Amino acid sequence: MQRVVIFLCIGLLAVGPLAAPASAKSYFFTRVAIDAHANPDGSMWITERRTYKFNGSFSWATYALERRGWSDVTDISLADESGRYTAASTGTPRTYQVALSPKELAVKWHFSAEDEERTFTIRYRVAGVVTRYRDTGELFWQFIGTGWEVPTESVRISVLIPGAAKADLRAWGHGPLDGVVALHDGKATLEVADLDKETAVEARILFPAALVPGAPLKDEAALPRILAEEARLARAANLERLTPLLNVLMFPIAFGLALATWLILYLRHGKEHRIHLPHPYLREPPASYGPAILGALLRWGTPSGQDFGATILDLARQGHLTIRQEGDGGSTHRFVRTGKSVAGISASDGRALVLLFRWGGGSGITDREFRSAAWRHADAGRMFKDWQRAVETEAKSYGFFDEGSRRTQERVARLHALMAVGGVLLTIFIIITFRLWLITGFVAFPLGGMFLSLLKGPLVRRTMDGATDLAQWRAFRRFLRDFSTLRDAPPPAIAVWESYLPYAVSLGVAARVIRQFPAAYGDQAATAAISWYTSTSGLRGTGRGGALVNLSSVSRGLARSVAIAATPRSSASGSGGGFSRSSSSSSGGSRGGGGSGGRAG
């Protein structure tokens, strides 16, 4: 058995190289040259030379002439470089046979060729291919049909109209858009480079009807109709030729229009007012509103989770709650209501207290318990959104933002929607009319609208009052960031930091402010500096310097908790939602047709 397997393997190895060329044999046409001669009786001589490039061994080829637009075919002959072939049905080399059916004329010839170029010439005469009208003669012929299954590198067609001057001729070519038609005295030529397989080439030539007195007469003044048809085809072809240019230009045009529109709107409605302050630092908060309103000013009207944490610290400063470290590591903090009346606080501050203690008991709630409740209860996200809306409403009374610029932003959003609808309508038009060159517009203009929509944010600007407040708050932020290094004035009294800290949270510099305390005030800062915070060391405020450092994590933890609450619930069905935690488990008709196709083998 082993010997049989070995012999089979050796046999396959030996036969393999011999079988490979047979399976890989192919051919294509390097050149097709067709000479046609229109006769006075309406017939036409066609001499077609096809140069085959054979890769492999070939012994036969075929030529088919579709039976369309001619009444009879005669005088068929076939030849190659060595001479004429003999009409015979023997199938031996240098013979050919002709078969005429109601569908087509088929010619098959036999030869021997291997890995070489061969040129075969077929010649025949077709009758009834020229039409004589009252005002013109017409030759409308498909010289290359769609039946050729391989490409051609070069095509040249020459049509001779005896007695016709160049001024008497009109000629059109139908086929690839890179084809060229030229007129000469008594002749029209068509040239095509790199003709794809299964691609037709046809010619329509007009000349004086007197040149074909024996051609069949049609009692029609056809010239206006023919000119109108060709004008329509020329317009369509010229439009199609613009496709590459449109493909290149459509995107920059769409995005350029979107960008120009945005730039004009931005300069008119979105560019911020420039505010010049006399000093780069401001040593006190420039306004008395709370950190949530400051967050709305900083973040274009909507406060963030960071501002919620700052609000809780500010409410503790006002005496509505206390914050106490718990545990050995001091990483847990407990929030406890003090019982102070909330009659005088804002609606947004009241909502913040309700959200914080919604799932707490009589002993208050820890930051860990709040985070867990925010994850488990869908109401937490709704309550956080309610708090944001309350802050937005209160912030509107300060007139921070230009309402005219907001209306411009809404117009841009409507324009984006209009461009999206236009893209949908354009898609429907493309489907109905098959004008695929418009696909660039379908893609470019909705994307341009999307680009415009993405840029609509900067179109909202602050009022002069809002811009002034923002500039002053930024100056105050610079002071909070750099106060320990300033030499022109001593740092403020430590007691005022109780009111500064919530603003530092919204301004994003709380951790830096706290780190600067030892350098500015010494390690043993006054224990009453932050009266509403108790550390695990038993000291209030900044006792031993390190206790206050943990306070900076309180606002960050609250911000993370409300961010969890605002995140959409995770979807088990895959229909969208928030993340889940990772788990270790789990073309028009032609009057007549020439060589419509053929094969070789």
Residues 519 and 484: their CA atoms lie apart, in Å, by 7
**The residue count for the chain:** 601
* Segment 95-122 mean pLDDT: 95
Q: In this structure, what are the phi and psi dihedrals at residue 496, rounded to the nearest 5 degrees?
A: -75, -15
Contacts of 296 (CB under 8 A, 6+ apart): 302, 303, 307, 391, 392, 394, 395, 400
Q: 406 or 217: which carries more pLDDT confidence?
A: 217
Count helices and strands (H / E) in the chain.
15, 21
**Would you place residue 511 in the very low, low, confident or very high pLDDT band (cuts 50, 70, 90)?**
confident
Angle between helix 439-454 and helix 403-433 axes, rounded to 10 deg: 170
**Would you place residue 14 in the very low, low, confident or very high pLDDT band (cuts 50, 70, 90)?**
very low
Give the lowest-confidence range in 37-51, 71-85, 330-344.
330-344
- Contact of 462 with 401, CB cutoff 8 Å: yes
Angle 62-190-228 (CA atoms, 0-180°, nearest 5)? 110
Between the ranges 210-214, 540-544, 578-582, where is the mean pLDDT highest? 210-214
Q: 385 or 488: which carries more pLDDT confidence?
A: 385
* Segment 184-196 mean pLDDT: 94
* Segment 12-29 mean pLDDT: 60
Q: 24-241: what fold?
A: Immunoglobulin-like (2.60.40)
| pLDDT for position 10 | 42
Q: 120 or 248: which carries more pLDDT confidence?
A: 120
| Residue 11 in this model has a pLDDT that exceeds 50 | no
Q: 18 or 64: which carries more pLDDT confidence?
A: 64
What are 20's two structure tokens? 């490979």
Percent of the chain with pLDDT over 90: 54
| Listed residue (160, 169, 110) closest to 137, CA to CA | 169
* Mean pLDDT of the chain, nearest integer: 82
| Residue 320 in this model has a pLDDT that exceeds 90 | yes
| Residue 572 in this model has a pLDDT that exceeds 50 | no
Q: 237 or 136: which carries more pLDDT confidence?
A: 136
Give the lowest-confidence range in 33-47, 380-394, 519-533, 544-558.
519-533
| pLDDT for position 420 | 67
| Residue 2 in this model has a pLDDT that exceeds 70 | no
* Segment 376-392 mean pLDDT: 94
| Residue 126 in this model has a pLDDT that exceeds 60 | yes
* Segment 482-506 mean pLDDT: 78
Q: Could you report the per-residue pLDDT of 44-69, keeping only the tens digit for each?
A: 999 999 999 999 999 999 999 988 88
DSSP-assigned states of every residue in 531-545: TTEE-TTS-BTTTTT
| Residue 112 in this model has a pLDDT that exceeds 90 | yes
**Would you place residue 148 in the very low, low, confident or very high pLDDT band (cuts 50, 70, 90)?**
very high
Q: What are the domain boundaries of the chain?
A: 24-241, 263-271+404-459, 291-402+463-566
Amino acid at 317: R
- Contact of 455 with 262, CB cutoff 8 Å: yes
| pLDDT for position 116 | 96
**Would you place residue 497 in the very low, low, confident or very high pLDDT band (cuts 50, 70, 90)?**
confident
| Residue 83 in this model has a pLDDT that exceeds 70 | yes
- Contact of 59 with 25, CB cutoff 8 Å: no
| Residue 528 in this model has a pLDDT that exceeds 60 | no
* Segment 205-219 mean pLDDT: 95
| pLDDT for position 161 | 96
The span from the first CA to the last CA of the chain, in angstroms, equals 40
| Residue 450 in this model has a pLDDT that exceeds 90 | no
**Would you place residue 361 in the very low, low, confident or very high pLDDT band (cuts 50, 70, 90)?**
confident
Burial-class residue 300 by CB neighbours within 10 Å (0-12, 13-18, 19+): middle
* Model pTM above 0.75: no
Percent of the chain with pLDDT over 70: 74
| Residue 389 in this model has a pLDDT that exceeds 90 | yes
* Segment 115-124 mean pLDDT: 97
Q: Could you report the per-residue pLDDT of 417-433, keeping only the tens digit for each?
A: 776 676 667 666 666 65
| Residue 375 in this model has a pLDDT that exceeds 70 | yes
Q: 513 or 92: which carries more pLDDT confidence?
A: 92
Q: Could you report the per-residue pLDDT of 267-313, keeping only the tens digit for each?
A: 776 678 899 999 999 999 999 999 999 999 999 899 999 999 999 99
* Segment 342-357 mean pLDDT: 96
| pLDDT for position 541 | 43
| Residue 132 in this model has a pLDDT that exceeds 90 | yes
| Residue 472 in this model has a pLDDT that exceeds 90 | yes
Read off the DSSP letter of residue 569: P
Owner of token pair 């909330």: 342
| pLDDT for position 12 | 43
| pLDDT for position 574 | 43
Residues 72 and 63: their CA atoms lie apart, in Å, by 17
| Residue 236 in this model has a pLDDT that exceeds 90 | no
